[in-house]
């Protein structure tokens, strides 16, 4: 059973009531998304508020809004934001993104999302987890429409998806005028296939910047039982400002 909280270097995420707990996908996106020049940030499907909190830590003055459809998760995100050092810069809205995009007049320099992605897979048993992880609650076409409506002209949209779904999303976004300009292929180890795609989109086409991130060292290269020793130097460098053991 997951812990009821997850402690990072500068904040703690309470997660007992949240549909989705702290996970590697969220940490990757929160550490990877380019925050340069962002004064207003939106996190779509914030869950516990993890990514929003990470982006608050990485910026000094940016105002950060977060939207969450699940009421229990949204309440937990509100509590986590209020308990953080950046509470005055954070707002959490309990609402479907489709409704939020129609009700807000705000526009954002950076939009991030760790969206639902079980497009063709079997539905999870628990309804709360279903809402959080099944793309029926936020189809990619509707996510793209909303991002297009709320993103500033020179803003960025960053998200993380599994490999197959990520490539589908790249094609759909391009048809709507959002072009993938940065892609990081995420692999568990050097021997494993690509598991996730970290993607950045902008309105103006540009040559794609692409690289690969390996999370773990092969077991044979791990010298001792220290948890930090099992991770690659590139993953430690990306997440060292957050994880306690780096």
Cβ–Cβ contacts within 10 Å for residue 91, how many?
Answer: 15
Q: What is the number of domains present in the chain?
A: 1
88 lies in a domain?
yes
Per-residue pLDDT of the chain (246 residues; tens, 9 = 90+): 568 999 999 999 999 988 888 999 999 999 999 999 999 999 999 999 999 999 999 999 999 999 999 999 999 999 999 999 999 999 999 999 999 999 999 999 999 999 865 444 444 445 444 444 444 567 899 999 999 999 999 999 999 999 999 999 999 999 999 999 999 999 999 999 999 999 999 999 999 999 999 999 987 666 666 777 899 999 999 999 999 989
**Domain annotation covers residue 244:** no
> Residue 64, CB half-sphere, CA atoms under 13 Å: how many?
31
Domain enclosing residue 144, as ranges: 5-239
CATH no. for residue 114? 3.40.50.150
Tell me the three state secondary structure of residue 68: strand
The answer to whether residue 245 is domain-embedded is no
Pairing outcome for strands 90-94 and 108-113: unpaired
- The pTM of this model reads 0.90
Report yes or no on 246 lying in a domain. no
HSE-up of residue 37 (Cα within 13 Å, Cβ side):
5
Give helix 163-175 / helix 140-150 axis angle, nearest 10°.
Answer: 50
């Amino acid at each position: 059973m997951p812990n009821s909280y997850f402690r990072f270097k500068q904040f703690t995420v309470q997660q007992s009531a949240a549909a989705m707990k702290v996970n590697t996908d969220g940490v990757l996106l929160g550490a990877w998304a380019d925050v340069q020049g962002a004064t207003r940030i939106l996190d779509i499907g914030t869950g516990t508020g993890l990514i929003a909190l990470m982006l608050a830590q990485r910026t000094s003055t940016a105002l950060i809004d977060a939207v969450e459809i699940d009421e229990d998760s949204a309440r937990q995100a509100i509590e986590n934001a209020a308990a953080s050092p950046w509470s005055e810069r954070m707002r959490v809205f309990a609402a479907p993104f489709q409704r939020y995009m129609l009700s807000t007049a705000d526009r954002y320099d950076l939009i991030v999302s760790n969206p639902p992605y079980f497009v063709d897979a079997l539905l999870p048993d628990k309804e709360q987890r279903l809402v959080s992880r099944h793309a029926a609650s936020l189809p990619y076409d509707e996510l793209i429409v909303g991002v297009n409506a709320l993103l500033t002209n020179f803003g960025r949209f960053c998200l993380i998806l599994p490999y197959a779904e990520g490539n589908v999303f790249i094609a759909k976004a391009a048809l709507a005028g959002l072009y993938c300009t940065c892609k990081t292929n995420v692999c568990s180890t050097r021997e494993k296939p690509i598991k996730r795609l970290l993607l950045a989109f902008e309105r103006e086409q540009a040559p794609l910047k692409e690289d690969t991130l390996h999370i773990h060292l092969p077991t044979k290269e791990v010298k001792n039982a220290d948890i930090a020793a099992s991770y690659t130097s590139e993953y430690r460098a990306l997440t060292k400002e957050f994880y306690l053991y780096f």
